[in-house]
Structure 1
């Protein structure tokens, strides 16, 4: 049986800038903003269109070395995307499948990032602590992007 969690993160950066920086250019920005967690992001196949696969490599601070994710949906007009884990992470160890749906919406002078994580845990495995860590990591990533955008107002405009 699949389970899911939702989270909303408010930012002081525009929706378009957050979307571009945190999701479209994460392969460049992620390792710069979170070097204590991410060593690099590599595009394995595709050109950033649905079906593309990228690999995110982690430092020893993360309990697994990498995760490969497939871009299932990208809508630059609606500032929306969906990715699914296809290899690495806890896939096959704690979960059978996992996907993340993200939508960025304007809110006042800033934005709100809405995320829904959907997963199917392996029978008998409790991933509640892993879910909490995933949420914390997502918030940390968005806040790091927000700080970068505030410090560099022309970036991703």
Structure 2
């Protein structure tokens, strides 16, 4: 088995506690409302903590019906979540899982979201840029939509 790791940083004007609450802790309620053309619903199987499975049911017409994440770690005090993509998306014969760690840290202008993605392959094959781009573009897009919502609604998740 091979592992390829990628990192990404996204800066934004929202405080870490607030964007973590909205984008991570309440994502199952908020994201289907903000992105109805992409996300039909999010079902949480479990209590929302480690070991829980999030099933993201995608809107019709996309390449996948759903994707599933297993929550590995959830640190509410340090604004960190680690989850594993276990079904859908890039998961297949070559990529067997993707472990993603998302951490929000304070910055002078709001926060920095640090994302580390580990692509675990069935063999030692290399992960292609287009496979990484799918998840990267989705993460950035979701972060910007949540950020815009919080800017327009200053009392939400305060």
| TM-score w.r.t. length of structure 1 | 0.92
Aligned counterpart, 2:5: 4
Aligned counterpart, 2:112: 112
CA contact (8 A) 2:97 2:121 kept: yes
Aligned length in residues? 156
Residue correspondence of structure 1 range 1-157 to structure 2 within 5 A: 1-44=2-45, 46-60=46-60, 62-123=62-123, 126-157=127-158
Structure 1 pair 89–47 and aligned structure 2 pair: CA distance change class (3 A): same
Q: Matched residue of 2:50: which SS? A: coil
| TM-score w.r.t. length of structure 2 | 0.91
Kindly report the root-mean-square deviation, in angstroms, between the aligned alpha carbons of the 2 structures: 1.6
CA contact (8 A) 1:85 1:98 kept: yes
CA contact (8 A) 1:94 1:127 kept: no
